[in-house]
Structure 1
Amino acid sequence: MEVELKCSHSKMSIQWTLIAGVMYIELAATVMLLIPFIAPPRWHQIFKSRFLRSIGNMSHIYFKMFLLLLILFFLDAIREMRKYSGELSDQAHGHGHHMDAEMQAHMRLFRAQRNFYISGFSLFLWVVLQRLVTLISRLAVSMANSDAALKQAKSATDAAAQLLKQEKVEQEEDQQKEANVSNEIKELKEEKKRLEAERDASLKQASAVSREYDRLMEEHADLQAKLKKAEGTEESKKDD
């Protein structure tokens, strides 16, 4: 009987030693994930590595199986705590109990409480670790999408700035062309005014020449008339 009890205690110690080792590993992994020097994209690359990707298809099964195992150990620790607490209560209300039996009962209760805290903390860390990995992966994807959106927005802004610059240059060229056309129109108007002024001056000059010509023709006619009259008078005198 004592040999069976010793074997049973050794098996339980190995089991709880393994659970404690898992708890330490979970605690170390949680601390590593919380280190601010490693960015979420780097963790995301590690999570997407070839080794982890090879077991990623079955990860949800592994998670549920280990979670169920931790829950069973946690419930077993609660059962042992209630069991050994009941034994201590019975021994306290009983008579003639031995000090050795009470010490063994306290030792068993202490181990049950220790196992309760180990299994409970391991269960808590397992859930936290899984949630932390999920949040880090989502954050890394969000950061990647944000960087891509920022790059796309920057490229769109650069393209818009280039278009605005090109439109400004074209607008300046159009304004320059309009200014050149306005100057040409102004010069043509001034040339037209100059030609009209020359035309008016030429018309005035021609009108003056025409009047002078008419006056000269009238004087010429008067002179011819006077000359004929003078010749007629001289012929009449000769006849007399």
Structure 2
Amino acid sequence: MSLQWTLIAGFLYLEIGIVLLLVLPVASPRRWNSLFKSKFLQGLQRQAGVYFMILLAVLVLFLLDAIREMRKYSNTESEEHGHAHLDREMQGSMRLFRAQRNFYISGFALFLSLVIRRLVILISAQATLQAQSEASMRQAQSATTAAKSLLAQRGEIEQNDSNEAHDKEITSLKNKITELEDDLKLEKKDKSALKQQADNLAKEYDRLAEEHSKLQKKVTIGGVGDKKEE
């Protein structure tokens, strides 16, 4: 195997190992994403598109060269007759086998390059979605906690409002009771004053009645004396 095909075969084996690492549950998508976003890979990512296109172009060139070799040696074998020399036939078969081998090596290397790129994109997207889902869950939990605290505070406020209204009602009733007691005291004072005034009027009436009786007696006695003198 020539040097270039040895390098392509080594690159193919490297790609197979990378695909196995990405597919098998070796690390979580978050760890892979943190590795992809490391400083070293971030430095390479700026020119990763150019490198990837160059790599694809090289693999496509080797693939086309392998296809050309396959067609070349396939046509050679078909043109040869059965009485050709055995060594020449063996050399043609060996070259065809090498061309087919190179075709499979370059084809799989090209295919796995595309697979690795797609896997990296999907793992990064999965890590981003996991981070977003965890952030959404934390936001939902914090919103639920806030809603529960707001409901508890609202219940406390309503309880305090009801207690305040009850206290105000009790205070109002106490004030009314105090006013009624004051009115009752005033009524009692007015009643005692009226009673005292009535007693005084009765006493005055009795006194006047007694004086009237005395005056009437005097008048009666004076009239009898005048008649005797006549």
TM-score, normalisation: structure 2: 0.85
| Alignment correspondent of 2:167 | 180
Question: RMSD in angstroms over aligned alpha carbons?
Answer: 2.5
1:79 aligns with 2:79: no
Return the alpha-carbon distance in structure 1 between the equivalents of residues 26 and 96 of structure 2: 43
* Secondary structure of 2:47's aligned partner: helix
Q: Structure 2: which 5+ runs fail to align?
A: none
* Secondary structure of 1:36's aligned partner: coil
| Alignment correspondent of 1:26 | 15
Q: How many residues align?
A: 227
Deviation at 1:202, TM superposition (A): 4.3
1:169 aligns with 2:156: yes
Return the alpha-carbon distance in structure 2 between the equivalents of residues 133 and 172 of structure 1: 58
One-letter amino acid matched to 1:78: I
* Secondary structure of 1:55's aligned partner: helix
Return the alpha-carbon distance in structure 2 between the equivalents of residues 163 and 204 of structure 1: 60
In the superposition, relative to structure 1, how do residues 159 and 24 fare at CA in structure 2: closer, same or farther (>3 Å)?
A: same
Bigger drift between 15-24 and 207-216 goes to 207-216
Return the alpha-carbon distance in structure 2 between the equivalents of residues 212 and 161 of structure 1: 75
Deviation at 1:189, TM superposition (A): 2.1
| Alignment correspondent of 2:56 | 67
CA distances 1:77-119 after superposition (whole Å, capped 9, x unpaired): 111121122112112xx35223332222222222222211111
Return the alpha-carbon distance in structure 1 between the equivalents of residues 177 and 74 of structure 2: 119
Q: Structure 1: which 5+ runs fail to align?
A: 1-11
In the superposition, relative to structure 1, how do residues 13 and 182 fare at CA in structure 2: closer, same or farther (>3 Å)?
A: same
| Alignment correspondent of 1:148 | 135
Deviation at 1:157, TM superposition (A): 4.0
TM-score, normalisation: structure 1: 0.82
| Alignment correspondent of 1:36 | 25
